[in-house]
Amino acid sequence: MFYTMKFGKIEHKLPICPLNDQLSIAGFIILGNAALSEECAKQLLEKAPQFDYIFTAEAKGIPLAHDMTRLAGKSQYIIARKTPKLYMSGYISIEVQSITTEKKQVLYLDKAEAELIAGKRVLIVDDVISTGESLKAIEALVEKAGGVIVGKMAILAEGDAQKREDITYLQPLPLFDNQGNPIA
C-alpha cells in the first residue's frame, strides 16, 4: 500500500507502515532522492524567514538542510547527532522519544557548533513533524547553545501537527488505519 503525493512536478509514493494494531503512517523517505529534496528545499525557502544557520537532526533532515543551505547561498548547516562522535570537542545533549523510533534517543550537539550558533538566527528544518518530540529536542539544543530560533519548518505535518501554528510546512500528511485509509 502506498500514499501518493506531489511536490512541484515530482510524484512521490510513500509506503504505508503499521505502527500498531489500529494505526499506520506513510513513510516519507527523502534520503537518496536528490530531485525531491531540492524541490522541497526550493519551496520551503520561499516561505523561510531570514536565518544565519539551518539546524536539523540526523539523518532524514540532512539532504533537506544541505539543499536549503546551498540554495540560500550559505556555507554551513548544523546537525544534531544521534551519537557523540570522536571529533567532537565536547557536546551538549537532549533526550527524545520519536514516533518512528522504538526507544528513547539522545541528540548531541558539538560544543564548537554550539558556539557557532550562539546569538545567531537559527532555522530548524525536518522532513516530517508528527508528535513534535524531535522538534522539541532540537529546540532545546538550539536554546542551550544560545541560538535564536527564527522558524521551524518541515516538508510534511503529520496528524495533529497540522493544527500547530508555530511551524511552516509544505503539505499535510494524514494518519492511516491499517487498511491504508486516511483517518486524520
Predicted pLDDT at 99: 53
pLDDT-derived band at 97, boundaries 50, 70, 90: low
Q: What is the mean pLDDT of the chain?
A: 92
Predicted pLDDT at 13: 95
Q: Rounded mean pLDDT of 122-137?
A: 91
Closest CA to 182 of 163, 158, 152, 164: 158
Q: Rounded mean pLDDT of 87-93?
A: 90
Q: Rounded mean pLDDT of 75-87?
A: 92
Predicted pLDDT at 96: 74
Predicted pLDDT at 153: 97
Cα angle, residue 44 at apex, residues 146 and 57 outer, rounded to 5°: 45
pLDDT-derived band at 132, boundaries 50, 70, 90: confident
Q: Rounded mean pLDDT of 142-156?
A: 97
Q: What is the 3-state secondary structure (H, E, C) of the chain?
A: CEEEEEECCEEEEEEEEECCCCCEEECCCCCCCHHHHHHHHHHHHCCCCCCCEEEEECCCCHHHHHHHHHHCCCCCCEEEECCCCCCCCCEEEEEECCCCCCCCEEEEEEHHHHHHHCCCEEEEEEEEECCCHHHHHHHHHHHHHCCEEEEEEEEEEEHHHHHCCCCEEEEEECCECCCCCECC
Predicted TM-score (pTM) of this structure: 0.91
Give whichever of 14-23, 119-128, 171-180 has the largest mean pLDDT: 119-128
CB contact at 8 A, 139 and 124:
yes
Closest CA to 44 of 180, 169, 183, 146: 169
Closest CA to 30 of 77, 4, 62, 8: 62
pLDDT-derived band at 175, boundaries 50, 70, 90: very high
Predicted pLDDT at 101: 56
Question: How far is residue 66 CA from its own chain's centroid?
Answer: 12
107: phi then psi, degrees, rounded to nearest 5: -105, 140
Q: Indicate the angle between helix axes 62-71 and 34-45, nearest 10 degrees.
A: 60
Higher pLDDT, 58 or 2: 2
